[in-house]
Each structure stands twice: as C-alpha cells, then as structure tokens.
Structure 1
C-alpha cells in the first residue's frame, strides 16, 4: 500500500513537467546535442587510408569544436549537458531535480545510440567499429584507467561549474570556448591511457552495438565519480557562495538558494528567506 502511494505521488509530481512544452524541448535538445557530440567524436576516431591510426589530435579538436557548437545551439534550452556524468553532478549538487535528471540521461543515451548506429551502418567495413569502443590499453590495468577517467572528468566538470557560476553573475567571459577547450584538454591527457571517455553514454552505445564489454564499468564509475567530486568541491569549497551553511542545507535537504543568497548578500537569513519565498510565489504566479 505504501509503495502504491509513493508511486502515485511520484506520478503527480511528474505530470506537470510532462505537460510542459519547454521540458520536452529541453529533452529533445539533450538528445540532439549528444547525437552531434558522439557522432563527431566517433567519426574523428575512424582510421585513415591504410588503417593508419588517427591519434588523439583529431578526436581532441573534434570534441572541442562540437562542444562549443552544441553549447551555443542548446545552452539556453537545456544547458547542453549532453553527458550523464554532468547531469548526475548537477543532481548531486541539487541544481536539478530527479525527474528531469533521469529523463535527460535517457535522452542522452538515445542520442548516443542513434549517432553510433548511423555511423555503424555507414561504415564500409564493420570491423572499423572496434575503434569506436573505449578500451583499457594492454600496458595498463583497469584501476589506472579508472584514475585517469576520474581526473579528466573532474577537470572538465569543474570548468563547467565555474563557467555556469560566472554566467549567474553576468560575467562576459567566453564560457562556451572554455567548455570546448577543457574537453580537448581531457582527450589530450587521457586518450593514450583510457581512451578519454568522460561520457558514459559515449561508451555505452558502441559497447552495445559491437558487443565489447570488457572493463566497461571503468567508463561509468570513473566519469560519474570525477563529475560528482568536481561538482561538490566547486559548490561547497571554491564557489563565491560556498559556506558551511550551504553544505548543511544540501545534506539536510533544505533550500540551497536561500542559503546562497544569504552568503552572497550578507543579509540576515530571515530577511533573505522572506524575499526568496516572495520571489518563488511570484514566479509560480507568472508560470
């Protein structure tokens, strides 16, 4: 009976978002953005004439350009996350609700499947699809590849949080370029050690299509762990609004926005709370 009640109330919470046109625009943007990014990365990984390996240069530049393009096109619609690890980092720092995060991740995986499947059908030699799969090099073990994935995803997501924080403060910094360059740097760092995945959806789709699952867990645990650590460390240690009260609010499921406003303005908590409540009520009336 309790489980049925929980499911019922969960559906009630979900229905308003399902009826929102903006919500489905954002979901579609995540799917198309992931499709563009994954197809660009995989296409740039295909060997040249005579099966000459392309090395890390082409994928590094390709993913950087793709991220800048996607962030420009879909950043205002969905945030252009195009990566389950980024979405989970936003969820862990309570910048996103559970419903939206889960639907975003599903859309990202669908976009990755569509791009990988289309490239696979277009290949003259199906064996070339082996280059799509992230593999741990023979000279390394899974633990070392895991550490590299954590490192490069950490620097990528930390940059993303920093860019978003600057945008919230109306900064004029070229944020999209920074996002592209941090992806390029990640590929340069990790391509020879782990394949520089940084994106579980990018790893999942080729694994399903080719049937290669060896050490696949590395490309889920590594990026997710690195992303969540980056998000938490930025929010509660390095952000201008970071404070002990903000961390306590996150752990106790309180409203982080109220605590953020308090730390940024220096006003009393009661005053900021009243203002925040008034603003939320006004936003609800507008919606």
Structure 2
C-alpha cells in the first residue's frame, strides 16, 4: 500500500505543494520583517498581517492538494490524531523544512541588507527568557491549531465551509500575541530555514518543542473532547490503532447533528467499505 502511494502522482503533487507553500510562506513572513526606513515603526504588526494573508492565499492554492499545512507542528498534530499516516507526515515535514530553507536563502540573496540577517532568525526577547518564550509558543500554537481542527471538522460535516479567513486571523493573532516575546514563530520550519542560512541556533529548541507541544495538545483536545463526534470509544480506538472513523461515525449518530450530516457520514463509511 505504501509503495503504491509512492508511485501516485497525487502523492508527489502534495509534496511539491508543501515545498512551494513553505517557500512562499517563509519568504513572505521574512520579507515583512525586514526593517524599513528609520521613521517606520517596528514590531510584529507587519509579519502578523503577512502571515495571516499568505495563509489564506495558500489555503486557496494548495488546500485541495495537500491541505496547505506548511508547518511541521500542524502535520504532527494530524499524525497524533491519525488524520495523516506516518509516511505522508514524514515526507510533508521534510518538504516543509526544505521549502522554508529555500525561501530563507532566496530572500537572503535577493535583499542586499546586512541588517536583514538580524531579524530573520527566531529569537527570544531580551526582556524575557527561554522558558517564557516557550510558554508563548505553546499558547500561540495551541489557539492556531485548535482553529485549524475546528475548520477541518466543519468542512467534513458541511463540505462547503472554507474557513480560510478564520485560520488567517488566528495566525495573525498568534504572531501579535507572541511576537514581542518569542517572535511568534508557531512553525518549526519557519525557524529552521533562517537558522540554517544565518547560522544562528541560540534557543532553537524553543521553536520545536513549543509549537509541537501546543499543536499536539490542541489536536488531541479538539478531536477527543470538543468535537461533536468526541467519545471515549474514539479515544480508545486511536490509542489502540483501530479504525477511528467507524467510532467517529457511531458517535456522530448519537449526537444532535442533523439527519443530513448523519447521512453524509454513513455514505462516507459505505464508500470506504466499497473501496476496501
């Protein structure tokens, strides 16, 4: 099954989408972080706006191809909740890190500003410490990924709800909240690319542990406690590697969802059984 997937054109299109999406995302965020004229105010506002807007654009461009995750923390949250298999998650993360590194390198070559290298890497604020920055990354990433899972759940149930603006607003809010303390990365690839190009690795662990921890906590709490199909059986199915979608359908049938939604879930299970 895995070998067949590796031969699939859709699989490699999804990988390319994650590479290109990460390149675009990182170059946009870093470009907005470059200092302007001396009389222009500096701060997280421009990176926050750039991150939110480019996230909405990438969702439209690559959402149907790979989900436009462009973030290893988001990918690991989908893996932890079994919305993504291990092979695809590993390939996505490699592609995201590659795209982020290419984006940082491209912008570093195109902008002949030595001062730009000072704002590229994710840094802990001089007013705080690594522990505080870690906490801000956890909180900011938690609210972002919880929003992503909420949007994905609504898409599965209703089909026509894009939710891209909600994700963009959530990303901008996270950058504005954590920007002054940790840079508001919320994305290990976004921090890894500039670190590779500039050679700045101080407190780099913060930008992996913080986003991954916040992301996985958000995904697990949403899927197994807050979503309409949440149930103890669903959590047990996930932990024991059973078919989680069957448990999810059973939970949905007992919830207060509309009959149209229940019919859609039953049709999904029927199609899956026919395919198998």
Same fold flag (TM > 0.5): yes
Distance 2:41 2:94 in 1: 32
What SS class does the counterpart of residue 82 from structure 1 fall into? coil
Which residue is equivalent to 2:42? 54
Distance 1:219 1:233 in 2: 21
The runs of at least 4 aligned residues of structure 1 exceeding 3 Å deviation read 50-53, 171-174, 274-279
C-alpha RMSD over aligned residues: 1.8
Q: Say if 1:46 and 1:54, in contact at 8 Å, map to a contact too.
A: no
What SS class does the counterpart of residue 250 from structure 2 fall into? helix
What 5-or-longer segments of structure 1 have no aligned partner?
1-12, 268-273
Size of the aligned set, in residue pairs, is 266
Distance 2:269 2:36 in 1: 59
The answer to whether residue 211 in structure 2 is matched with residue 219 in structure 1 is: no
1:92-143 per-position Cα deviation (integer Å, ceiling 9, x unaligned): 0000000000000011111101110001111213342121111101121111
Which residue is equivalent to 2:18? 30
Which residue is equivalent to 1:87? 75
The answer to whether residue 165 in structure 2 is matched with residue 182 in structure 1 is: no
Alignment of 1:135-284 (within 5 A): 135-170=123-158, 172-266=160-254, 279-284=271-276
Distance 1:149 1:164 in 2: 22
What 5-or-longer segments of structure 2 have no aligned partner?
256-265
What SS class does the counterpart of residue 80 from structure 1 fall into? coil
Q: Which has the larger radius of gyration?
A: 1
1:121-180 per-position Cα deviation (integer Å, ceiling 9, x unaligned): 112133421211111011211111000000000000000000000000116545000010
Instruction: Decide whether aligned partners of structure 1 residues 200 and 69 sit closer, same or farther in structure 2, where only a CA change above 3 A counts.
Output: same
Shift, 1:236, TM fit = 0.4
TM-score (norm 2): 0.92
Q: Say if 1:258 and 1:276, in contact at 8 Å, map to a contact too.
A: no
Which residue is equivalent to 1:70? 58
Aligned residue among 114, 118, 124 for 2:112? 124
What SS class does the counterpart of residue 126 from structure 2 fall into? coil
